[in-house]
Amino acid sequence: MSLYEKVVEVYRVAKNYSQSYENGNRSSKRTDELNDAFINNVVQPIFSQDKGYTIKTEHSIACAYGDTFKMDVVVYKKDKIVAMFPLKAIERSYNKNRFNFANTIVGEAYRIWGKPGIPDREKTLVAAVDWIPYEVMVGKEKTERTKLARISSENLTRMAASFGYPNSKHISVKIQFDYDEMSNKITNIDKGSVIKFMKELEEWEDNFEQ
């Protein structure tokens, strides 16, 4: 399996669960499947245990509003957060909800960065990863061509810096491809977005200093 296929295979794992179980796309088990596939195919090869990294899922982190909230995947080295990954795999009705999805990413960014001085937060990479097919179902039979609500990674990173985390980075990653519901096949992967994302992860790991 190529690098590109490994990254988008994460989507198919989640999609297969949704199709196999009633209300599968709302199940916490689907989230577990998505997280595990993402760790195995994307995170673990870069942030490996051999290098001293620990990977946690559905992990509670400090929130700017107070108390904590759960992050899908978190990478630690000792007690320092190296990287965090909010993950979303879009299956249907994207266009009417695309700005709500965008609001969620920005809101999560504030929850992560909005309180200065959180000790585990400096020099942390946050990558909000969205898998969005070029075409998704709307209702039971109709499909729509997705129209991305793009979010500036530069602005998200500026938010981190403005609250006192100048060495941290926050990126929005949109991975697109064609998915065929009948054959369960993924084709026409946007390889450029995959290459850019994986390069960001590799460079972050290369430059990380405990």
Structure tokens of 159?
A: 């938010």
Q: What is the pLDDT of residue 56?
A: 98
Q: How many residues does the chain have?
A: 210
Q: What is the pLDDT of residue 140?
A: 75
**Is the model's pLDDT at 115 over the cut of 80?**
yes
- pLDDT-derived band at 26 (thresholds 50, 70, 90) equals low
Alpha carbon distances (Å) from 61 to 28, 64, 113, 115, 134: 19, 10, 11, 12, 33
What integer is the mean pLDDT of 178-188? 93
Percentage of the chain with pLDDT > 90? 88
The single-letter code of the amino acid at 141 is E
What integer is the mean pLDDT of 93-112? 96
**Is the model's pLDDT at 166 over the cut of 90?**
yes
The single-letter code of the amino acid at 70 is K
Q: Where are the domains of the chain?
A: 3-207
35, 17 contact by CB (below 8 A): no
Structure tokens of 172?
A: 């929005």
**Is the model's pLDDT at 87 over the cut of 80?**
yes
- The reported pTM is 0.94
Alpha carbon distances (Å) from 85 to 127, 143, 200: 5, 29, 13
Question: Which residue in the block uniquely carries the two structure tokens 């403005």?
Answer: 162
Return mean pLDDT, the chain: 94
Q: What is the pLDDT of residue 162?
A: 98
The pLDDT tens digits for 117-131 are 999 999 999 999 999
**Is the model's pLDDT at 39 over the cut of 90?**
yes
Question: Which residue in the block uniquely carries the two structure tokens 């909010």?
Answer: 86
What integer is the mean pLDDT of 160-174? 98
**Is the model's pLDDT at 195 over the cut of 60?**
yes
Q: What is the pLDDT of residue 182?
A: 86
What integer is the mean pLDDT of 47-61? 96
Are β-strands 125-133 and 80-85 bridged in parallel, bridged antiparallel, or unpaired?
Answer: parallel
Distance CA 142, CA 156 (A): 35
What integer is the mean pLDDT of 152-160? 98
> Phi then psi for 38, rounded to 5 degrees?
-65, -45
Helices (H) and strands (E) in the chain, counts: 5, 9
Contacts of 59 (CB under 8 A, 6+ apart): 70, 71, 73, 74
- pLDDT-derived band at 21 (thresholds 50, 70, 90) equals low
